Structure 1
Amino acid sequence: MEAIMDAHGLWEAIEPPTDVAVDEKKSKQARAFIFQSIPEEILSQAAKKKTAKEVWDSLKSRYVGAERAEKARLRILKSEFEALQMKGGETVDDYAGKLSGMVSKYNSVGAELDDEELVRKLFDTVPERFINLVASIEQSLDVESMPFEEGIAHLKAYEDRVKLRQSHRATENSLLFSKTESQTSSKGHGKGQQFTNQRSGGRGKADRGGRCNTPCYESQI
């Protein structure tokens, strides 16, 4: 804005030369020019200022204060970003969501996180279970030019593969346990039946005369 007003010969209404009175007409023109260039939410407050210099000074104070606040906020965000670590039980999607959230926060203060920073942060802060995968990626791919989404995709594919293998292993263990239980139950039933047969088969039957027609093993009194 300063360069444009200077090109129109209006900047001297904002910063007049020493011992030179401000041209009232130029001041009004500069004031009107500033009003056309600022957001509507600020216009009502700026309109209370009578000269172009007063308007400019109020805007400068407002934006310088806001700039300082944004710098302080950015320092906090940088510390927050540096402290991020993927937890042991956290999924790739959950952690990637946190990193993406930091991108939005950076943008809110006029800063940005590029893909290289995000990918490096992602690979440097994953748990031990991803270390071999990360080492392999770094040896075979150009991490510096890798899009953030691609980095996430590599980790997620590995995570899904591990989950699938664990699921298959759990299913196999469950089937093996069921088979063992079934075999144990069958053996127990077979022994019980054999014991019952032995008990029933060991008793003789007597005829009407009291004599056994099969071997009798019961005690006699």
Structure 2
Amino acid sequence: MALVPHGGGAGGSASMVMPMLTVDNYTVWAIKVQTILDVHTVWEEVAPGDAAVNARKDKTARALLLGALPEDVLLSVARKPTAREVWDSLKVRFVGADRVRSARLATLRGEFDRLKMADGEALDAYAGRLAGMTARYANLRETLGDAALVKKLLDTIPDRLFPIVAGIEQFHDVTTMAFDEALGRLRAFEERVRRRGQDGGERRGEQLLMTAAQWAARERRHGGARDDDDNKSVASSSDGNRRWRWYKCGERGHFKRDCPKLRKAPVAEQALLVNGNVDDDGLL
């Protein structure tokens, strides 16, 4: 890292740290350097457009750029007389000419197409990877808009977030939705699911236990309303419907406790019948 004077050529006494260029950090390096040069009010000398170049500011911008280069790169651009020429030379070297740019852009598009949220990856981490693609596209003079980012985000998130994706696509126009808005909706849904998972499991278990207890109590109150299979036989009606018939009386449409034959039987026989210990002939 190199310390360079702050002040944009105005003689300021403060200092600012310029990032050092390496073999594989040009994209991030260019973003940081452009910001620092803009703070020094000398970026317009690097990208002047139609404005005339200010000689004093141009020297300041060139000095800042040269101070952020390693020795091997510095020697290759030291003879460039202006900041704009230094910048363009670095861009050609690290970004490449148009043919190299096209090849790198195709590679970048392939990386973007293959991008997918990994199992267990945090939503914010994946969103950061998507947002980082915009800087890489911008460095190749291409734009990765919100529409492409939103579509990629919604298409590649895990199944646990699918319900909110369906809602977003049904009730919102994803082609005009901002990436931050889509991310915010997914975050809100994920947080709600997390809260529900923390306290919902026990309550669901309690509900199942209570339902089972209520069912057992209901069975006891009705004295076993459902007849056993060996206390009933199956008959078919004329229309093909299967109807249960109790074998004691041969009648259909009533439970064992409501059987007329059981009501007419002696008290002792009723007790045996209820206990299921009497056969068709009334024998034990």
- Could you state the TM-score of these two structures normalised by the residue count of structure 2? 0.39
**Greater RCO (CA < 8 Å, at least 6 residues apart):** 1
Higher helix share: 1
- Could you state the TM-score of these two structures normalised by the residue count of structure 1? 0.49
Higher strand share: 2
